[in-house]
Amino acid sequence: MNEDDLVIDPWGSAQSTDYDRIISQFGLASMEGVSVPSPSKLHRRGIVFAHRDVDQVLEAQRTGSPFGVLTGLMPSGQMHLGHSMVVEQVKWFQQHGGDVTIAVADLESQATRGISLEKGRKVALEEYVAHYAALGLEPDKTEVYFQSTRPAVQRLGFQLGKRTNLSEFEAIYGFGGDTNLAHVQAPMVQVGDILHPQMEEFGGLRPVVVPVGVDQDPHLRLTRGLASKTNWFNIRDSSSKGLLVSLSIHDENAEVFGQMPNGRVDKQKVADVFDKVVAAVAKLGFSDIVSSPKQGHVHVPSATNRDKHGIRHQLLGLERELGGLGLLAPSSTYHHFAVGMTGAKMSSSQPKTTLFLRDDLPSVEKKIKRAFSGGQATVEEHRRMGGNPDIDVAYQYMMYFFEEDDAYLAEVNEAFRAGKLLAGEMKQLCIERASAWMANLHEMRDQTAHLVHEFLAEDSR
């Protein structure tokens, strides 16, 4: 690690908004140039700005194949506008065919915030799930569960602990000797959260996407690395052309792969495995498959980069047949954070920095009136020099949360920059939209209150 490298602390209060640097340092892919069918306003406005492997999810969407969406919530405190962004993305994926799993991070909340499991359950249902319902998630396509009561999640997290170590945690999270072990355990449970929907009893092998803020990316890096390290088959580009599949031999598969304890190789077993690889790849319609057990690979000369997903899927299926976990590294998307209303970071512990979903309309109005403005100090100066919508909270909140119409936003943006629209007028526009949005949310919350229970998975009722 270099001196000036960024370490993202998912539990810290600092928030890096140097998004370009985050993209390059952590190897995220930009959303620019990714074509998203019927994009939501968060996509259209570049608020969802980066991803890892989102293509495999969009492809599933396009072809009508199954895919999952997973998110988690920390049951502590009140839900605010910032939290609603992930819900909006989850809802969008749901509307486009994804099945949704929501982890209540009650173990994490207990360990890192001192919230009892009992309190966590109450907060999760009354505050979070109640608003997820109001925001339009579908109860029959959503499964909410608790970390504390889903053994499969904890087992998977524990099991994958074998494939990482404290040095990796130091590199990813900046941990040192005095780090509380709750901060080691919580990410391992989260790894279980993210990967378990692929297990047979939770929906089976399919791409799973996790929409998050960049503060959660360390967990995704960890999870993706762990999933890949368990894989029994590697796929790589051939130096000539096409793709090469090879075996990745480790403790769990040594026997199946014919590695005898005395160090010798059972050639018949190896030949069987290679035959199965060929058969798995052949299912995709390739006829020119060259199997070379001696060189340790299967060559598919006509396969291109675009065939990688399909081949990986087949091989993970084969791995499962042979007794492995067959885990696909999760996809993720990342969104920009909306500025806090005071101009500082949005935070639950600073009520003036955000709108809570339970704020009444007079508070909404008051907070927006006092919000940080991108206008000039006097009307005269504003008319002459124009304002800056990029830092104007009222404008930003319409863009992030309250206004669906792109053309209208563009108009307002231009008028503000040109000094034709005053800061107070911008706030008034925002107040109108925010009030309508909140009033509607509160009404929906009343109407959907009876559905909260239906969001709970079987094992969580």
- Contacting residues toward ligand TRP, per CB under 6 A: 10, 70-72, 74, 103, 105, 108, 190, 193-194, 210, 212, 216
Residue nearer to ligand TRP on the CB measure, 81 or 429: 81
SS3 at position 104: strand
- State in angstroms the smallest separation of the CB of 147 from ligand TRP: 7
Q: Which two tokens stand for residue 442?
A: 């509160």
Helix-helix angle 217-230:19-26, to 10 degrees: 20
Which CB, 100 or 434, lies closer to ligand TRP? 100
Structure tokens at 429: 């526009």
Residue 85: both structure tokens together? 């962004």
| Separation of alpha carbons 159 and 195, rounded Å | 12
How near is the Cβ of 360 to ligand TRP at its closest, in Å? Answer: 26
Instruction: Say what the alpha-carbon torsion angle 315, 320, 324, 329 is, to the nearest 10 degrees.
Output: 60
- Minimal distance in Å, beta carbon 71 to ligand TRP? 5
Instruction: Report the residue closest to ligand TRP, judged by CB.
Output: 72
In the complex, the smallest distance separating the C-beta of residue 70 from ligand TRP, rounded to whole angstroms, is 6
Residues 331 and 194: their CA atoms lie apart, in Å, by 10
Containing 240, the helix (H) or strand (E) segment is none
Phi, psi of 70 (to 5 degrees): -130, 135
Mention every residue, 6+ apart, whose C-beta is less than 8 A from residue 54: 29, 31, 34, 209, 331, 332, 333
| Cβ proximity to ligand TRP, 58 vs 194, nearer residue | 194
Q: How far is the CB of 287 from ligand TRP (least distance, A)?
A: 41
Compute, in degrees rounded to 10, the torsion defined by CA atoms 258, 261, 263, 266. Answer: -20
Nearer to ligand TRP, 148 or 190 (CB): 190
Q: Return the number of the residue (194 or 300) whose C-beta is nearest ligand TRP.
A: 194
Q: How far is the CB of 21 from ligand TRP (least distance, A)?
A: 22
What phi and psi, each to the nearest 5 degrees, are found at residue 196?
Answer: -65, -25
Q: How far is the CB of 412 from ligand TRP (least distance, A)?
A: 33
Could you tell me the strand order of the sheet in which 48-52 lies? 29-30, 48-52, 331-335, 208-213, 68-73, 99-104, 142-146
Distance CA 101, CA 333 (A): 16
C-beta of 190 vs 376, nearer to ligand TRP = 190
CB of 150 to ligand TRP, least distance (A): 11
In this structure, what DSSP letter does residue 28 have?
P
- Measured from the CB atom, the residue of 105 and 115 that comes closer to ligand TRP is 105
Neighbours of 304 (CB within 10 A): 11
Which among 160, 87, 162, 77 is positioned nearest to 112, based on CA atoms?
77
Q: How far is the CB of 102 from ligand TRP (least distance, A)?
A: 9
Residue 216 or 333: the one with the smaller Cβ distance to ligand TRP is: 216
For ligand TRP, the closer of residues 90 and 438 by Cβ is 90
